[in-house]
Amino acid sequence: MKIVIVGGVAGGATAAARIRRLDEHAQIVVFERSGYISYANCGLPYYIGDVITDQKDLTLQTPESFYSRFRIEMKVHHKVLAIHPDQKTVSVKNLETGEVFEERYDKLLLSPGAHPTQPRLPGVGMDKLFTLRTVEDTLRIKDYINKNQPKSVILAGGGFISLELAENLRELGMEVTIVQRPRQLMKPFDPDMASFIHGEMRRHGIQLALGYTVEGFEEKDGGIDVLLKDEQPLHADMGILAIGVTPESSLAKEAGLLLGAKGSILVNDRMETSVPDIYAVGDAVQIKHLVTGQDTLISLAGPANKQGRIAADNICGRDSHYAGSLGSSILKVFDLTAASTGINESTAKRMGIAADKVILSPMNHAGYYPGGTVMTMKVVFEKETYRLLGAQIIGYEGVDKRIDVLATAIQAGLRATELKDLDLSYAPPYSSAKDPVNMAGFMIENLSDGILKQFHLEDVPNLPTDGSVTLLDVRTTGEYARGHIHGFRNIPVDDLRARIHELEKGKPVYVICQSGLRSYIATRILAGYGFDSYNFSGGFRFYDAVTNDRCLIRAAAECGMDQAGSLS
């Protein structure tokens, strides 16, 4: 059996190695148009930032090492020009010699990946405007920086690559501005959780121009002007387009394969396309989202690797199926770690799913053990059924552990209330006896049992100010003095029983503290005295971070930006 694979990296290289492990005698040929067949795609920004200093560390395998171990022909600088399903051949061009030839296959696997989205805007393609997707892109950016020593850069887009590049370029000493149309970075996160990412970026000197529409690029004064709709241009020494990726499906389309969302290649759960004996994997294919069941695109290395393995299994006569993806992801943002899985609250509402959430601020390990740090967790679930929908966590140590536990719980079909039952490891340097994931489960169980009633940040502007409700802040007097929500009176939780007579019976009480814990205790005290009370989800710490971020974004929109790209 002869298998031809179009494209290496995560999906293609994984499939090639798996096929060889299952079939020692299959003839396997991989055509890769770049010069690298297996490289650390996610490590590219860190090479630009000198975190990874040896270019060889980016290359996981070479054609020579792949052939030595697996006896697989890895032909780099070879571009597949066309697929001929009727003849079961592909037309291939050797980019080094210009030779064009036909290659026969019994099974064909497409792993073409995706290319950086390049909008049809004036100036796209100019020398000082870069994209980052391949090792070659990385080397071009690195070479430009080394030769020209640019002092400033503008990144168009606010996703994974943009933030990783922003951090690395900032660490090189460059002035960095991120501009994009949405008013938040990182689409997998809800706007409230993204506020913590924004704060960390600003703390490290990154300029954020959120809510601005890029209309083109011009070379000016030895650098580049980024043209904005209804605003003065931003100027920098160089620019990088990082507004997402587009499935590389032109070959499939020309061969008559059925396409799906955004021009992606349509496959079934065996990674088979609409044409017999042709499979497809990776960023180019449409898959199912495990939470929503809907068709989606998820451009992540984990799903691509799994799909490559499944396609290889089926090519070799096994029966493997791809269930779908949660889109679980994690990102380093300077000192912070930001992670998400499943869908966020915004997506749930957009899809008409009745969603609720809990927001908590637990320590990463036992509070009495030195070095503990706070993380912010948001767990989203479906009302009535308590089906887990997704989670977002932003913090320092231990974020990766908790998001993986929550991703596992979602995929296993656990209800949100069952998080309390998970038997998770504990020692003071690593966790608490009640792990943050357990704590989320306790909170959700309290909601389901009616022990806890919440109000959220979006409810605060609509709270009555006519005296028909009691607004209560149960932090210490010092905490209250340093900042509080207008209209909330202060009675510290430890004084509440002695001062309960100061509260008017019959009025609902809306309670806030710093993190949500003391205010929950206060609601239980109030319940014991016959009050109907509501706990603020996330606490004043959460409220303060989100509202300050929104004020900064609003102020930037109202005040505009100067020619240097700094906020006025």
Catalytic residue numbers, as ranges: 42
CB contact set of 366 (below 8 Å; sequence gap of 6+): 372, 428, 429, 431, 432, 433
Distance in angstroms (rounded) separating the CA atoms of residues 406 and 359 = 14
Cβ atoms of 271 and 310 closer than 8 Å? yes
Is residue 236 within 8 Å of residue 153, measured between CB atoms?
yes
- For residues 58 and 43, give the distance between their C-alpha atoms in angstroms, rounded to a whole number: 7
State the Cα–Cα distance between residues 321 and 381, nearest whole angstrom: 27
To 10 degrees, what angle do helices 436-449 and 399-411 make?
50
With beta carbons less than 8 A apart as the criterion, state whether 115 and 133 touch: yes
CB 278 within 8 A of CB 266: no
- Per DSSP, 416 falls in state G
- Positions of E strands within 33-71: 38-39, 59-61
Angle between helices 160-171 and 191-203 (to 10 degrees): 20
d(CA 424, CA 418): 13
Residue 380 · residue 345 · CB < 8 Å = yes
